[in-house]
Structure 1
């Protein structure tokens, strides 16, 4: 039986089945013990001096643990890896991202991206990761598209990350690309906007054409069941549902949705449904249809042209 088997099992059991050469030496094993286990196929090497104590599949969390052990003291999961750990994103990233406080260094490895940082964000946890609000700010710093940016903040809110804490984390950064946009989007996210499509609707359809202000994400009891509407125009008997999918299963098209909306208006059943094509590609036409439905509910206002070529 290999020496100190119980000690190795205890160590690996608390580290997602990962051990390092340094830890094994501290247990009294020879420096070459880890390499010998890898050579005979009992263990699987992940990074230099770091191995998983079996030869089977290696799940994401085990890879993340191996990255932290390899990078050493002060290392923390960050960016996309921390975002997955904190459930801001649902898909595990292929590359593990780790931050290290300057001036520490670690040699690059396949499947591992290392950020050496003069400002090292706070981190914590059994699987150490940057603090959730700091993680959101890290992702923000490399997000250039406004729709992706608002999606990030909405995902953070759904992961129960306090957006006021995100704002404070951002204020602590000396350099942050798009700081003004972040402040704007944080305000919009706090107002109830839960998706990039909702933001586009409020900005490009509603506000740009002087439509009445709506309430977002309204919960109500209908037929004895709780329902939630994306957009509600209180007092005008109108709800708007926004579908962020580019296409529905079964081949339903944007033209089909538009036709259905027209029928609903004519018959007085005023729940309108829009998709990306309506809000992003034809916001003026969409505003005109919303205005027509609002007038059925008693609105007496005028649609404002948003610029040359506006067809609202």
Structure 2
């Protein structure tokens, strides 16, 4: 393959090994570097002049630097496969346990052996397969990772496939966090989220609330009856079908007609922004109490 065809295919990125294999001599490569026709990105990986150093370039350069057998992984793999909105600042790559590369600025290296089922090729790059990509990227993203997992389960991957990828990689970095996330994702009744909110309310010292409060033929997940504030707790969106969504809407409309204020929170809200959730509940309770007091003032 010619130098030009390599540069076109790889967004202007080329490794020294590729250039030598395409017929350039070491002296010619060094000459191009001295003239700044090629710029170093990583050791032995270059970007040709006229190409912008964008996210695609960063990802390609990291994988080329890591060498043969390297696999794009984590959020970088999710972004490459269209499952994450932004490429991470540090590109994750996985290499075999006996490979030598060490993490360097812009590249995080993990040493482990991947099963064949956990490796795929997407748009010309070797990447972790979608199920493993999703769970590892979700762990990398911390509190916001559950949102990525939930979205992926709706659009790109099946839960059994993600769970099998998790089981194949038990004991690897982040597998404990991944396990907790998968337990929450598997819960169809939203009971995990409800228990989490109950614990939050108890810890905050909030008073006057009840679980499974009956109102007008409906059960409110958590209610503050005196203030007529109802809190509905949702599980993960990938469980939600059209029939269940329609039933939830009818119940919410009925409660609003009866004078209830409805607050809705998901598992992601409770895990990702617990302080904000408690603040919103407190604000709504204060507002409801002020409205009740005003007529007699």
Moved more, 73-82 or 11-20: 11-20
Establish whether residue 123 from structure 1 lines up as the match of residue 139 from structure 2: no
Q: Which of 46, 49, 67 matches 2:44?
A: 49
**Distance of 1:210 and 1:141 partners within structure 2:** 32
Change (3 A) 1:208 1:8: farther
Residue deviations 1:32-82, cap 9 Å, x none? 322321220212211111112224421111111111111111111111211
Partner-residue secondary structure (3-state), 2:65: helix
In structure 2, relative to structure 1, the CA distance for the partners of 1:101 and 1:64 (3 Å cut) is same
Contact 2:135/2:149, CA 8 A, preserved across alignment: no
Give ranges in structure 2 of 5+ residues lacking alignment.
199-208, 214-218, 222-231, 266-272, 288-297
Deviations, residues 282-309 of structure 1 (Å, cap 9, x unaligned)? 769979x9xxxxxxxxxxxxxxxxxxxx
Is the 8 Å Cα contact of residues 204 and 283 (structure 1) preserved in structure 2? no
1:10 to partner: Cα distance: 1.0
CA shift in 2, pair 1:165/1:47, >3 Å = same
Structure 1: distance between partners of 2:83 and 2:211: 34
**CA distances 1:252-287 after superposition (whole Å, capped 9, x unpaired):** xxxxxxxxxxxxx5x657673557678444769979
Q: Deviations over 1:188-208 (max 9, x none)?
A: 3xx397xxxx97468527x97
Correspondent of 1:30 among 25, 28, 33: 25
1:137 to 121, 131, 135: 135
CA distance in 2, matches of 1:107, 1:180: 28
2:203 matches 1:204: no
**C-alpha displacement at 1:174, in angstroms?**
3.0
Instruction: Compute the displacement of 1:26 (Å).
Output: 1.3
**For 1:159-187, what per-residue CA distance to the aligned partner results, in whole angstroms no more than 9, with x for missing partners?**
52222211111122231214652342121
Identify the match of residue 106 of structure 2 among 105, 111, 122.
Answer: 111
8 Å Cα contact 1:279-1:286 kept in structure 2: no
Q: Do 1:75 and 1:98's aligned partners in 2 also have CA atoms closer than 8 Å? A: yes
What is the deviation of 1:152? Answer: 3.5
Q: Secondary structure at the match of 1:129?
A: strand
What residue is the counterpart of 1:173 in the other structure? 169
In 2, Cα distance between the equivalents of 1:83 and 1:208? 41
Does structure 1 retain, via aligned residues, the 8 Å contact 2:74–2:137? yes
Aligned to 2:262: 272
Cα distance in 2, alignment partners of residues 113 and 179 from structure 1: 19
Three-state SS of the structure 2 residue aligned to 1:44 is strand
- The CA RMSD measured in Å over matched residues stands at 4.1
> Is this contact kept in 1: 2:62–2:107, CA < 8 A?
yes
C-alpha distance in 2, partners of 1:270/1:90?
A: 37
For 1:31 and 1:208, how far apart are their aligned partners in 2? 75
Higher helix proportion, which one? 2
| Structure 1 residue aligned with 2:151 | 155
> Unaligned stretches of 5+ in structure 1?
1-5, 221-227, 240-264, 290-312
For normalisation by structure 1, the TM-score amounts to 0.63
The 2-side partners of 1:231 and 1:87 are apart by: 33
Q: Shift of residue 209 of structure 1?
A: 0.9
Provide the residue aligned with 1:85 in structure 2. 80
Secondary structure of 1:115's counterpart equals strand
Q: What residue in structure 1 maps to residue 248 of structure 2?
A: 232
CA contact (8 A) 1:45 1:51 kept: yes
